[in-house]
Structure 1
Amino acid sequence: MLDDICCFDFETSGLSPVEDRVVEMAAIRVIKGIQVSEFRTFVKYDGKLVPKITELTGITDEHLVNGMDEKQAFLNLRRVMGPQTLLVAHNATFDLAFLHYAMFRISEITFANPFIDTLTIARDRTPYPHTLTDMCNKYNIDLNGAHRALADVEGTLALLQAMHAEQPVDNFVNKLSYVEKYGKPVWVPAHAELSPVVWRK
């Protein structure tokens, strides 16, 4: 099931996949356990980043001045992903929504790849908290530079591999959980299976 995967991550200008934009992206493609490609770039952004985003990520407006054009960035990303590769992200609800809205805005198409959300697995298997940093700590994975796209991709990939070694994750394909008190996500893929979870400390 993990013979062909692409782990990816977005850093964005805000939380809305409709109104906000991806400002940094990274992806790693792994086939039969061997990394075959890696892609990362800043993405040109016309607006101004709010201080909270810079504080969280370290990304500034100066980083984005020479970023890749949005359309070219997403075309490159989709080449790395491929049409049927299993996509992997931590809090995939967030990243998949940004992927969908960007693709639709650029070319009026979306994606149909299967996916796995390591956050959904974490919520099922381990107690709160479930941030990528917390989960990497639980599995003794070094996560250097959290909230930067490539670092988060490397952490998520290692987390997936550790979880799969502990107990196969096959039954989590295309499954997304959401915290019931916050309601359903704004958008999920048509092939997603949604399930609510009760948020507890």
Structure 2
Amino acid sequence: MSILNDVTVFDFETSGLDAEGCRVIEMAAIRCTNGEIVSQFNTIVRQNIPGGLSPKIIELTGITPGLLSGGMDELLAFKILRNLIGDSLLVAHNAAFDLAFLHYSLMRLSGKTYSNSFIDTCTISRDRHVYPHKLTDMCDRYDIALTGAHRALNDVMATWELLKAMDAEESVSGYINRLGYLKKYGPPSWSPDYATLVPTNNRYAG
């Protein structure tokens, strides 16, 4: 049975890098069954951020204060996301980031986290390819179209195509719950307690 039989690929755009203190400002997810997209969710998340969004975040994402104020209520957005995810396998690129935001957001809003298994396409990228490993770089390597990077739904669709391409190349089943991190930065500040943390170094061409 393919591990792609039941997965949810998801992505967050956020107000900053600190998963505990910052907030999700956009989310997207696709539930994929038997290799096909069967449901999809994408929304700006309304947030009251002291001092507002930084110019860097606005430039990176294109999400303006006006868009943010018209977004979906945060609790409702995460309820919809949690229902869409169900007990599926979670997939994200640089998953340590998105998994931490999912954990802290769910704990703050509902008092409980998730226990889904996951796959990080960035961990696979570091194992199989030389630097660089950003989603845009990996899409270039596999000839996957990615327009409008750093908008959640665009990144999700690209990550889904990347996962399929990597699995076709060689099964990615060995990467379930495996989270690679760069030795020079140390392990992520939070990760699921069932994650296997693997220190790595970037490899360079030549």
Question: TM-score scaled to structure 1, two decimals?
Answer: 0.98
2:134 pairs, out of 126, 131, 140, with 131
The corresponding residue for 2:25 is 23
The corresponding residue for 2:107 is 104
Query: 5+ unaligned residues in a row in structure 1: which ranges?
Result: none
Q: Distance in 2 between matches of 1:142 and 1:149?
A: 15
Q: Distance in 2 between matches of 1:46 and 1:86?
A: 31
1:51 aligns with 2:51: no
Shift of 1:182: 0.6
| Equivalent residues in 2 for 1:48-87, closer than 5 Å | 48-82=52-86, 84-87=87-90
The corresponding residue for 2:191 is 188
Shift of 1:186: 0.6
Q: Distance in 2 between matches of 1:173 and 1:136?
A: 21
Instruction: Give the superposed CA RMSD.
Output: 0.7
| Equivalent residues in 2 for 1:147-158, closer than 5 Å | 147-158=150-161
Shift of 1:12: 0.1
Q: How many equivalent pairs are there?
A: 200
The corresponding residue for 2:35 is 33
Q: Share of identical aligned residues, percent? A: 56
Query: 5+ unaligned residues in a row in structure 2: which ranges?
Result: none
Shift of 1:33: 1.6
Runs of 4+ in 1 over 3 A off after TM superposition: none
Q: Distance in 2 between matches of 1:89 and 1:33?
A: 16
Shift of 1:2: 1.2
Question: TM-score scaled to structure 2, two decimals?
Answer: 0.96
Shift of 1:35: 1.2
Q: Do 2:129 and 2:203's aligned partners in 1 also have CA atoms closer than 8 Å?
A: no
